[in-house]
Structure 1
Amino acid sequence: MSRIVLEARDVRYQYPRSREAITGISFHVRRGEKIALVGPNGAGKSTLLQMFNGMIRPTSGILLFDNEPVRYDTRSLRQIRRRVGFLLQNPDRQIIAPTVYQDVAFGPTNLGYDEAAVKAAVEVALRQVGLEGFERRPPHHLSGGEKKRVAIAGVLAMDPDVLVFDEPTTGLDPSGSEDLMELLDELNHAGKTIIISTHDVELAYPWADRVILLADGRIIREDVPDVAFGNPTYVRMAHLSVPTLLELSVELEKRGFTIPKRKPRSVLDMVHIIENHLHGSCGHPSPGTITVCNVDEGDTGTLASWVKARTIVVGAMGTRAKQCAEREALPLEFTYGVIDKCILRALRGKDSLILTTGSMVGRVAVRVEAYAKESGTTIRVVSLDPDGQPSQNG
């Protein structure tokens, strides 16, 4: 099991001349986890998040990073803020420089990097968030989603272990929200621990490894999402609603459907439950094939002709994969929840192509294999080189 990277022990915080905003909270975060703090406005989410990198010092209790107490002298705070990157709700409050390059370079420059190291850190960070070529642009000319990516790049340039996001999808339209959550998944698969705050149960339920329900500055429930959201009493105490998929599974169970121990967290999971109840009476054809292409390897110039020659739809996972699709004029059918949507298509006997990046390639095979184990249905996954040629295991 992964080691604990962040821990709170009986943490309390009281703003001057006000009641306690955090009232004796204890919990931990393991390295590599995706954690969602979920609660209404005023629950204490933002206050708690700001403690993680020393922006706020607890009134009492203790915070630990890698089993060491967080200290609040200047040197210690600089170190913790390098290792725990914090992203504000409003990127305009975090972006301070006249160009994208200067803003992203601010952190590594303050850490004492030489010019070459700063340039390399900025290039890597902008590539991670899909903003290559934006170096000279003024941030105030960018869209809301692009500004958020600049702010994320500024944090990534310092190579933190943990990324903390306060209401990450605030101000974004549904498409922008999907793109941002896909980026968080990509960063997580690259090794980052991710903590977000949100009041959106539909966002937190399928995304998080663990959910912490907060209300009135205290933890109401902490567990995996289907358990944390599974007790309506706790959900009401946190002034939230039960996620739609979880509520639907409860109703199906009351009507005689067999619901697995792991409750459905996607449309694919729900379809599997319904089809099991129908005992295969739907008469499925033989499953289609899922082809995976790592766009980080080789020339993608012949992908369009490969797709055009086949009855196939295309999905893209990750920022660079979506940029590749745009560059090669490939129409995208799926841009979020790509693997599950391609599995659903395969179950209808249809083929699909997933464009993805190096850190995400293995995720496709793991998810498809997990579904095969649960359902008993084998779906073929093959690899494709970016130049349109099957790889050796294709």
Structure 2
Amino acid sequence: MTNLLEFDNIHYAYPNCRESLSGVTFSIKKGAKVALVGPNGAGKTTLLLMFNGVLEPSKGRVLFNGEPLQYNSRSLREVRKKVGLVFQNSDTQLFAPTVYQDVAFGPLNLGMTPDEIRATVTRSLAAVGLSGYEKRPPHQLSGGEKKRAAIAGTLAMEPEVLVFDEPTSSLDPAGAADLMELLDELNSQGKTIIISTHDVELAYLWADQVILVNKGTVIHAGTPEEVFTDPALITSSNLRMPAVLEVYTELVSRQMIGKTGSPKSVLQLVSSLEQISSKPKIDRAPGTITVCNVDATGVEDIKVWVTHNPGHKRGAMGARAKNIAVRESISLDFSYGVIDKGILRALVGESSLLLTPASMVPHVFRRVETYCRESGNTICVLPMENARTAPKTGE
């Protein structure tokens, strides 16, 4: 991957204030999932506002695709097509009488025809799971729906990069999990995703690059493992270690398990514990994981499959899949952390059906394949179209 965005010795001070950013340098690869992590007041929001030129550094350069940002109107208009910013408070971004008009605002200003605007708005709302919301007033939406509407408005500009300021703030745990799944889906479609957060659990599990910020400087930029397994870095940033790492570190210190690599999830921690368990393993075949691409499978086919396979646990990833489950009264056993939960069920001999959009299907196969390679377990993953002829678990 090549560098898409670069910050080169960035300094910035608000009027009559001391510097908010001082000597900030880092780079971001195309297609990355990046978390700017730090306590409140660390300078994260100031950094975000520089990604598409809302703020101009007092010293240093911001580069996009190797070219320094220019701060004239024409250049800024071009960079803001490519780098979309979604604010923490969605109410500051939603201002039109209806959702349709809000999402159409950017394309309208780009000079698109009415037919082009209609197609773009329809596509953007479908991407965030808000099809059918076109006539809804934004103030009548829930917090999660407002966030999705704001994202749709940004997607309508067809950016390469999406930048989010505290994306899960004000959302309940289920809403936050839904939103992060949406960001994963957008990333799987090739978009670079950058978020600011002080939620170490979220950053450790989700990001593939963490930029640790405190007091206006970048303390460290690296993988989540590099950042969150260094107690000195965490302490100096007034943060704490993710819970799964705390448990793992304590187990290692008590010599209850060996150093097997820092677990990123409950699934990986359970696998480490199983490897040293003195309890005999139950001799049974693992369950299977069936993947249903909801973008290519008819609703009636899904319902028939569910009826014919009542013993399968069911999970859904992404807004479209979850909306289908709700609309068709398909009960779900898990709606977040779906892949790991499917793997955990398979390890105890239970099979699962995962409903997912087309863009996330390869991700499911890769995730299970990676787990099997690292753990030595074997779990069969089946596309739904082949599942009816597959042997039942244990046969």
Shared topology, TM-score over 0.5?
yes
Q: Deviations over 1:27-58 (max 9, x none)?
A: 00101100001111100000000000000000
Counterpart of 1:383?
383
* Structure 2 unaligned blocks of 5 or more: 391-395
Number of the residue aligned with 2:123 = 124
Partner of 1:219: 218
Structure 1 letter corresponding to 2:384: L
Asked if 2 retains the 8 angstrom alpha-carbon contact of 1:6 and 1:28, the reply is yes
Q: Is the 8 A contact 1:285 1:347 kept in 2?
A: no
Alignment of 1:82-101 (within 5 A): 82-101=81-100
Deviation at 1:373, TM superposition (A): 0.6
What SS does the aligned partner of 2:102 have? Answer: helix
Structure 1 residue 279, shift from structure 2 partner: 6.1
Match of residue 209 from structure 1 = 208
Counterpart CA distance in 2 for 1:377 and 1:302 is 31
Q: Which amino acid aligns with 1:344?
A: L
Shift of residue 281 of structure 1?
Answer: 2.7
Q: 2:347 corresponds to which residue?
A: 347
Distance 2:321 2:186 in 1: 14
Query: AA paired with 1:290?
Result: I
Aligned counterparts of 1:230 and 1:18: Cα–Cα separation in 2: 34
State the 1:303 CA deviation: 2.3
Distance (whole Å) between structure 2 residues aligned to residue 33 and residue 167 of structure 1 = 18
What amino acid sits opposite 2:53 in the alignment? G
Aligned equivalents of 1:77 and 1:281: distance in 2?
64
Asked if the contact 1:297/1:385 (under 8 Å) is kept, the reply is no
Q: Write the distance in 1 (CA, Å) between the matches of 2:212 and 2:326.
A: 39
| Matched AA of 1:341 | K
Alpha-carbon distance in 1 for matches of 2:389, 2:296 = 13
**Post-superposition CA distance 1:64-102 (Å, at most 9, x none):** 000000000000000111100000000000011111000
| Aligned equivalent of 1:274 | 273
1:222 aligned counterpart, secondary structure: strand
Q: What is the aligned-residue RMSD (CA, Å)?
A: 1.4
Contact 1:384/1:390 (<8 A) preserved: no
Map 1:1-394 → 2, pairs under 5 A: 2-256=1-255, 257-261=257-261, 263-278=262-277, 281-310=280-309, 311-385=311-385
SS at the partner of 2:195? strand
How many angstroms apart in 1 are the aligned matches of 2:307 and 2:114? 46
TM-score, scaled to structure 1: 0.96
Gaps of 5+ in 1: none
Deviation at 1:389, TM superposition (A): 5.2
Partner secondary structure for residue 164 of structure 2: strand
CA shift digits 1:181-218 (9 cap, x unpaired): 11111111111100000011111110000111111001
Per mean C-alpha deviation after superposition, the further-off stretch among 22-31 and 251-260 is 251-260
Look up the equivalent residue of 1:251 and give its one-letter code: E
- Whichever residue aligns with residue 17 of structure 2, its letter is S
**Aligned-partner SS, 1:51:** coil
User: How far apart, in 2, do the equivalents of 1:28 and 1:102 lie?
Assistant: 36
What displacement does 1:283 show?
A: 2.5
1:113 Cα deviation (Å)?
Answer: 1.2
Name the structure 1 match of 2:393.
none
Distance 1:330 1:390 in 2: 22
Q: Contact between 1:287 and 1:379, CA under 8 Å: does it hold in 2?
A: yes
**By how many angstroms is 1:284 displaced?**
5.0
Post-superposition Cα deviations, 1:340-384, rounded to whole Å, max 9, x if no partner, equal 110000000000000011100011110111111111111011111
In the TM superposition, structure 1's runs of 4+ consecutive aligned residues that sit over 4 Å from their partners are 388-391
Amino acid at match of 2:108: T
Question: C-alpha separation between the residues in 1 aligned to 2:316 and 2:385?
Answer: 15
Residue identity opposite 2:249 in structure 1: V
Q: 2: distance between equivalents of 1:162 and 1:276?
A: 41
Counterparts of 2:161 and 2:101, CA distance in 1: 23
Residue 306 of structure 1 and its aligned partner are, at CA, apart by 2.4
Percent identity, please: 53
